[in-house]
Homo-oligomer: A and B are copies of this chain.
Amino acid sequence: MLAIGEFSQLTHLSVRTLRRYHDAGLLEPAAVDATTGYRYYSPDQIPTAQVIHRLRELDVPLSDVQRILRSPDPSTRATLVADHLQRLESELDRTRAAVVSLRRLLRPDPAALDVELRTVPATTVAAVEDDVAHEDVLDWYAGAMAELDAVVRQPTGAPGGLYDNALFENGRGHLLVYRPTAEPPRSGRVHPVTLPAVELAVATHVGEHDDIDVTYGELGSWVVANALAVAGPVRETYLVGPRDTPDPGAWRTEIGWPVFRMAPPVPRGPGAVERRPRTS
């Protein structure tokens, strides 16, 4: 039996941390003196303590560590651990993207962005839509696009998506991906949707999506500078993407921000009702 200080030396976990893990039910001492409250650990607990230590180094939350330790058979355990490693991978991707994006932001003199104002008529397309949380977007997108591809046989244009602004503001929002086709089918999650007519401020993003936020920002600046206001979900159109060519440098994504001309500060005739709608 080991006092907490000795156990601390053997496991390289601080005494404080060991007490916390006890309170959290993560690593119960083999014995606790009922009168003094002294914790005593068994040498058998060293491996467990080390597993906890390593998982914490991987930023696995304590609750998940507990779940891993509680799972009795090694295969469940291995699965849970593998899930976390997966999470680490995707975090790494995110980090990589942030670095790319940051580089572009800090570049001394960025090239001016080409923005085009385009009037888009209402269109009926085959679509998949859902309310999705920010962190699930990539997975959801992959699934939805795959389903669209499987169902839509004869697309008449590039695929695209509509992304609710609330997605970024509140962490979740309404997403819609679509593929234009002559006779939009109804199958599984796929169903016909009529996209409303809008006026779009359109810019084209070149390359991977790592730094697409920068293009978003530049487009946003342009919109504001031209006395327009944002109205409704952003539209992305995937002109050239990974499905078309493996070369990321050739990818082209159109970003279209629905805009409304701000009402000029002059008296208007009774019929000329053109208001800036609420941005929802």
Contact = CB atoms under 8 A, between A and B. Distances in A.
A165 B5 CA distance: 10
A229 interface: yes
B99 A6 contact: no
Given A5-B279, A279-B6, A77 B58 contact: no
Interface residues of A, number: 57
A229 B85 CA distance: 37
Given A9-B169, A99-B85, A106 B43 contact: no
Interface in A212-262: 213-214, 216-218, 220-221, 223-225, 229-230
Contacts of A38: none
Interface stretch (A10-18, A29-37, A120-128): A10-18
Interface in A83-115: 85, 88, 92, 94-95, 98-99, 101-102, 105-106, 108
Interface stretch (A45-53, A138-146, A147-155, A176-184): A45-53
Contacts of A13: 168
A54 B14 contact: no
A85 to B, nearest CB: 7
Contact of A95 (B58, B94, B171): B58
A106 B51 contact: yes
A195 interface: no
B85 A220 contact: no
B105 A47 contact: yes
Given A55-B102, A57-B94, A58-B102, A217 B78 contact: no
Contact of A106 (B6, B57, B78, B168): B78
A220 B95 contact: no
Given A77-B106, A165-B9, A225 B85 contact: no
Interface of A: 2, 5-6, 8-15, 43-44, 46-47, 49-51, 53-55, 57-58, 74, 77-78, 81, 85, 88, 92, 94-95, 98-99, 101-102, 105-106, 108, 165, 168-171, 213-214, 216-218, 220-221, 223-225, 229-230, 279
Q: Kindly list the 10 A-B residue pairs having the minimum CB-CB distance in the complex, ordered from nearest.
A: A10-B220, A12-B168, A57-B98, A43-B224, A54-B102, A46-B217, A43-B221, A9-B165, A54-B98, A50-B217
29 contacts: A8-B169, A9-B165, A9-B220, A9-B230, A9-B279, A10-B221, A10-B223, A10-B230, A11-B217, A12-B216, A14-B168, A43-B221, A43-B225, A44-B221, A46-B217, A47-B105, A47-B217, A47-B221, A50-B217, A54-B98, A54-B105, A54-B213, A55-B102, A57-B98, A58-B95, A58-B99, A78-B106, A81-B102, A88-B95
